[in-house]
Amino acid sequence: MSLLDQIDQIRSTFMEELYSISSSKDVERMRIHYFGKKGTIASLMRFLRDATPEDRPNLGKIINDTKEELSSHLENTQKRLLIQERQHRFAKEAIDVTLPAEPFRLGIEHPVQKVLQEVVAIFSSFGFSVGLAPDLDTEHYNFTGLNFAEDHPAKDMQDTFYFPKDYLLRTHTSNVQVHLMENQKPPMKIIAPGKCFRNETVSSRSHVFFHQIEGFYIDQNVCFTELLELMRAFWPKLFGTKVKVRFRPSYFPFVEPGLEVDIACTQCQSQGCKLCKYTGWLEVAGAGMIHPNVLDQAKIDSEVYQGYAFGIGVERIAMLLYGIEDIRTFSRNDPRVFEQVALKYSSVL
Ligand code: PHE
């Protein structure tokens, strides 16, 4: 077969192959096969060896031209395939910016925590500073130091969680009073948020675990009307200026006189509803003038100093502010519920 016939044959199989390949790897394979040291084009060199010296330059040129022609086809195909492959890869990696995003959960502040912070912030603006006492405490701080009689029913195992060695879980935040009175000197103006525990049957309205905010002020010449004025000033700050406040006489061993603070039902505006048990009022705090026995036990002279104290129930307030009907919602800790609450009431707190 002559060189030209051979070249025609090579060209046609080359072109056929070139059209059938689909990846840049195939191009590399063809490059070695045709243009490699022992490749198809190299094998044409034998025609040069056998040719006469006159024909040799001409044949050499034909072989070179063929080589250039075929390799430029190969380069073009290589470029096309590389572009295609890149497009394919991009298409696979592409991000569809129109797809709805996965919800991003930032976490949400617990409604009880929000109320605690808000209440503390309001009392801070009234000049109170934050004090704390342990949740796991002793009978002395939770009861005896607060003038509870030895046989007071609250001390019963049914109400209080007792632990070995005289320990108990505090049933109210009033233990803060005793701790701080023993360690500090008046004047004292303290606000103390914290957890409390009572051995109660869990229901939609009561729980074994809840929060209170204790406040007290001890100084010379502290009077009862100051306490009433403080309560009248505080509740509108939390519930809005329209909220009405009323006081009822009540009994707590550690205050005298003692009272209970009610606000007009925020749900029915005192018309009477299920929430306020058709009384039109909601109980939100206990308060009173600190009993002289409490001061004297803590070695604060009750002839010189007086004080008032109050304790606010936190869950009740969070339920009112956020329209939560079941106190167990707070301990179920479902972030979706808290998110909904936050969205619905973002304007409240
Ligand atoms: N500690 C009382 C309670 O648990 C509330 C209270 C606090 C009452 C301070 C009077 C003064 O209910």
User: Which whole number is the average pLDDT over 45-60?
Assistant: 89
Percent of the chain with pLDDT over 90: 74
Ligand 1 centroid–CA 245 distance in Å is 17
Give dist(CA 175, CA 166) in Å, integer.
Answer: 15
Residue 252 Cβ < 6 Å to ligand 1:
yes
Whether the pLDDT of residue 335 is over 90: the answer is no
Whether the pLDDT of residue 138 is over 60: the answer is yes
Residue 288 Cβ < 6 Å to ligand 1:
yes
Whether the pLDDT of residue 304 is over 70: the answer is yes
Select from 155, 212, 283 the residue to mutate for testing ligand 1; criterion: most ligand atoms less than 8 Å from CB.
212
Select from 172, 195, 228 the residue to mutate for testing ligand 1; criterion: most ligand atoms less than 8 Å from CB.
172
Residue 198 Cβ < 6 Å to ligand 1:
no
Residue 197 Cβ < 6 Å to ligand 1:
no
- Write the CATH number of the domain with boundaries 111-344: 3.30.930.10
**305 in Cβ contact with 220 (< 8 Å):** yes
Other Cβ atoms less than 10 A from the Cβ of 318: the count is 25
**176 in Cβ contact with 145 (< 8 Å):** no
**3-state secondary structure string, the chain?**
CCHHHHHHHHHHHHHHHHHHCCCHHHHHHHHHHHHCCCCHHHHCHHHHHHCCCCCHHHHHHHHHHHHHHHHHHHHHHHHHHHHHHHHHHHHHHCCCCCCCCCCCCCCCCCHHHHHHHHHHHHHHHCCCEECCCCCEEEHHHHCHHHCCCCCCHHHCCCCCCEECCCEEECCCCCHHHHHHHHHCCCCEEEEEEEEEECCCCCCCCCCCEEEEEEEEEEECCCCHHHHHHHHHHHHHHHHCCCCCEEEEEECCCCEEEEEEEEEECCCCCCCCCCCCCCCCEEEEEEEEEECHHHHHHCCCCCCCCEEEEEEEEHHHHHHHHHCCCCCCHHHHCCHHHHHHHHHHCCCCC
| Mean pLDDT of the chain, nearest integer | 92
Atom 3 of ligand 1: nearest residue by CA position: 172
User: Which whole number is the average pLDDT over 167-178?
Assistant: 97
Which tokens hold the place of 318? 């969070």
How far is residue 296 from each of residues 192, 199, 216, 259, 303, measured CA to CA in Å? 21, 30, 16, 22, 9
Whether the pLDDT of residue 347 is over 80: the answer is no
Phi, psi of 54, rounded to the nearest 5 degrees: -70, -40
Q: Which sequence spans correspond to the domains of the chain? A: 3-92, 111-344
The pLDDT score that the predictor gives to residue 3 is: 87
Give dist(CA 185, CA 300) in Å, integer.
Answer: 8
Phi, psi of 297, rounded to the nearest 5 degrees: -60, -35
The pLDDT score that the predictor gives to residue 109 is: 86
Residue type, 200: E
Phi, psi of 219, rounded to the nearest 5 degrees: -165, -175
Residue 210 Cβ < 6 Å to ligand 1:
no
At residue 279, the 3 state secondary structure works out as coil
Residue 286 Cβ < 6 Å to ligand 1:
yes
> Is pLDDT larger for residue 337 or for residue 103?
337
The string of pLDDT tens digits covering residues 220-275 is 999 999 999 999 999 999 998 889 999 999 999 999 999 999 999 988 888 988 88
The atom of ligand 1 lying closest to the CA of 286 is: 8
Q: pLDDT band at residue 281, thresholds of 50, 70 and 90?
A: very high
The atom of ligand 1 lying closest to the CA of 174 is: 1
The pLDDT score that the predictor gives to residue 348 is: 54
Q: Which residue has the tokens 């100093």?
A: 305
Atom 8 of ligand 1: nearest residue by CA position: 286
Ligand 1 centroid–CA 287 distance in Å is 6
> Is pLDDT larger for residue 344 or for residue 256?
256
The string of pLDDT tens digits covering residues 66-124 is 999 999 999 999 999 999 999 999 989 988 888 888 877 777 889 999 999 999 999 99
Ligand 1 centroid–CA 286 distance in Å is 5
User: Which whole number is the average pLDDT over 176-195?
Assistant: 97
pTM confidence score: 0.71
Ligand 1 centroid–CA 252 distance in Å is 7
The string of pLDDT tens digits covering residues 27-37 is 999 999 999 99
Ligand 1 centroid–CA 289 distance in Å is 11
Residue 174 Cβ < 6 Å to ligand 1:
yes
Residue 255 Cβ < 6 Å to ligand 1:
yes
CB-side exposure of 41: number of CA atoms within 13 Å?
Answer: 22
Percent of the chain with pLDDT over 70: 99
Ligand 1 centroid–CA 231 distance in Å is 14
Residue 310 Cβ < 6 Å to ligand 1:
yes
Whether the pLDDT of residue 303 is over 70: the answer is yes
